[in-house]
Amino acid sequence: MLKLAESFYKQDTISLAKNLLGKIFIRKLDGQILAGKIVETEAYHQQGDPSCHAHNGKTRRNAVMFEPPGHLYVYFTYGMHYCMNIVAEPEGIAAAVLIRSLEPLEGIEMMQKLRGNKIECKNLCNGPAKLCQAFDITKQQNGYFLEGKDIFISDAPSIAEQDIVITTRIGISQGKELPWRFYIKNNMYVSKTIPVLC
DNA sequence: ACTGCGATGTCCT
DNA sequence: GGACATCGCAGTT
């Protein structure tokens, strides 16, 4: 089980969004292991992407996006939800990959406790705020570097190009036309299916 | 199946 | 003051 290193994360954000599909996100929490396969991502970039939090330059909220690749950028939204990104590209360029869905692999009971009892496995991590709740990712983890021992991503076989579905991104009002959402074809744990571009 | 909407706190102009 | 990279519930078809 090989832990991905900074050299992996130092890709352009679109490549990273594709190459993270199939990898295993792991958190050790209270002596237990939580693990999920990344099945859906979105790319964001400070340039040419008006929906990117860093589009208008560095602020207190988005500062982590400018840090070296492999850091976690966690932000709070809608008064109650967290979303988790992985910083891409070299230090100084603000770009990140939003993790939108995980396929739960290990620690499912603990995820159910964190999410609420009656949630089906299928619905534990099929959304950016849901997976943060299931993995107890909050602002405390903002800025965490993924080479640490408690939170990291484990390598796994890449997803073939023909098994990656490309669509526009979900839930944004600007930059809607950019084809920067990626998910694994026919995977049951993807958050939402919308008309496919190609 | 789909649609609308309220909850709720933080950030940025 | 407005917007927000969401979610779950209630109501409708």
- pLDDT tens per residue across span A124-175: 999 999 999 999 999 999 999 999 999 999 999 999 999 999 999 999 999 9
CATH of the domain at A168: 3.10.300.10
Determine the distance between A126 (CA) and C6 (C1') in angstroms. 12
Q: Where are the beta strands (DSSP E) in A78-129?
A: 81-87, 95-106
Query: Which range of residues forms the domain containing residue A124?
Result: 6-184
Q: Does the pTM exceed 0.85?
A: yes
Strand B-contacting residues in A 20-39, CB cut-off 7 angstroms:
none
The structural domain count of chain A equals 1
A176 touches strand B (CB under 7 A): no
Contact yes or no for A76/A139 (Cβ under 8 A): yes
pLDDT of A105-129, one tens digit each? 999 999 999 998 789 999 999 999 9
Under the banding of pLDDT at 50, 70 and 90, the label for residue A1 is confident
Alpha-carbon gap, residue A98 to A43, rounded angstroms: 6
Task: Kindly determine whether the C-beta of residue A115 is less than 7 Å away from any atom of nucleic acid strand C.
Answer: yes
Instruction: Specify the nucleotide whose C1' lies closest to residue A58 (CA).
Output: B12
- pLDDT tens-digit profile of A54-96? 999 999 999 999 999 999 999 999 999 999 999 999 999 999 9
Contact A5, A133 (CB under 8 A): no
Residues 150-189 of chain A: which lie with beta carbon within 7 Å of strand C? 169-174
Please check whether residue A189 lies inside any domain of the structure.
Answer: no
H or E segment to which residue A73 belongs? strand A72-77
Please report whether residue A30 resides in a domain.
yes
In a domain, A173, yes or no: yes
The length of chain A in residues reads 198
Distance of CA A146 to the CA centre of its chain: 12
Q: Predicted confidence band at A198 (pLDDT cuts at 50, 70, 90)?
A: very low
Is there a domain that residue A156 lies in? yes
Distance from CA of residue A3 to its chain's centroid?
Answer: 16
List bases in chain C with any atom under 7 Å of a protein Cβ. Answer: 3-8
Q: Quick one: pLDDT band at residue A197, thresholds 50, 70, 90?
A: very low
Nucleotides of B under 7 A from a protein CB: 7-13
- What pLDDT sits at residue A194? 61
